[in-house]
Amino acid sequence: MTPPLETMLAFVAASAVLVVVPGPNVVYIVTRGVTQGRGAAVVSTLGVEAGMLVHVAAAATGLSAILTRTALTFTMVKLAGAAYLLFLAVRAVRAAPSGPDAAPRPARRRASLFRQGFLASVLNPKVAVFFLAFLPQFVRPAAGGVLEQTLVLGGLFLAVATVSDLGYALLSGSVGRRTVGAVRRARRWRDAEAAVYAGLGVALAVAGTDDA
């Protein structure tokens, strides 16, 4: 059972408004694009959306409700996500060229970029809170098939988010290709990349469930 057409249209419109506004995922993707190029940003986007798919499935099956109602579990997942982002910050610093004749290191392999985007997304419990708060607003229990409705709505949200995030990825990749040329600039972009990841990690670590 799918939600009524008018409900799905309203949901898509609301989703578009939400995903266009830059959030942590967009910051993560844009940072990849500026520092490592368009291809890295696109692959990272696919990883992020795959992580969100896990949250959609969890919300539909009720796992997210358990996660957000158990303070210890929420905190453990949150700290794991924050630690991972800080780990990425350290890697960005170490990847920066250090000598006057050093060349920027090549972009990481696609599998690594996808995995990092996936983990950064799936280890963010605030995404679970968001889906639990947002999806039920458009589910119509009287129509039956609550699980099916939730999955359909989650799929629609992912489709909208993917289109928007890919737009950011392509744009940031173009900006990065034009601005990152010299070694000094590459170093500054790597430092900026590290700062972004560290900032996201700290923000996630100090956030509560009501901050999602």
- Judge whether residue 108 has pLDDT over 60: no
Q: Give the total number of structural domains in the chain.
A: 1
Q: Which domain holds residue 148?
A: 24-211
Does residue 50 fall inside a structural domain?
yes
Does residue 159 fall inside a structural domain?
yes
Task: Give the C-alpha separation, 78 to 92, whole Å.
Answer: 21
Does residue 18 fall inside a structural domain?
no
Does residue 13 fall inside a structural domain?
no
Cα 79-84-89 angle, rounded to 5 deg: 125
- DSSP type of residue 108: P
Does residue 7 fall inside a structural domain?
no
| Residue 191's pLDDT band (cuts 50, 70, 90) | low
71 or 151: which leads in pLDDT: 151
Tell me which range, 1-5, 26-30, 61-65, 182-186, is most confidently predicted by mean pLDDT.
26-30
Burial 11-48 (b: 16+ CB within 10 A, else e): beeebeeebeeeebbbbbbbbbbbbbbbebbbbbbbbb
Mean pLDDT of 185-200: 63
Does residue 133 fall inside a structural domain?
yes
CB 52 within 8 A of CB 15: no
Predicted TM-score of the model (pTM): 0.69
- Judge whether residue 113 has pLDDT over 80: yes
Does residue 166 fall inside a structural domain?
yes
Does residue 6 fall inside a structural domain?
no
Task: Give the C-alpha separation, 117 to 48, whole Å.
Answer: 5
| Residue 188's pLDDT band (cuts 50, 70, 90) | low
Residue type, 184: R
> Would you report the helix, strand and coil content of the chain in percent, each value rounded to 5?
85, 0, 15
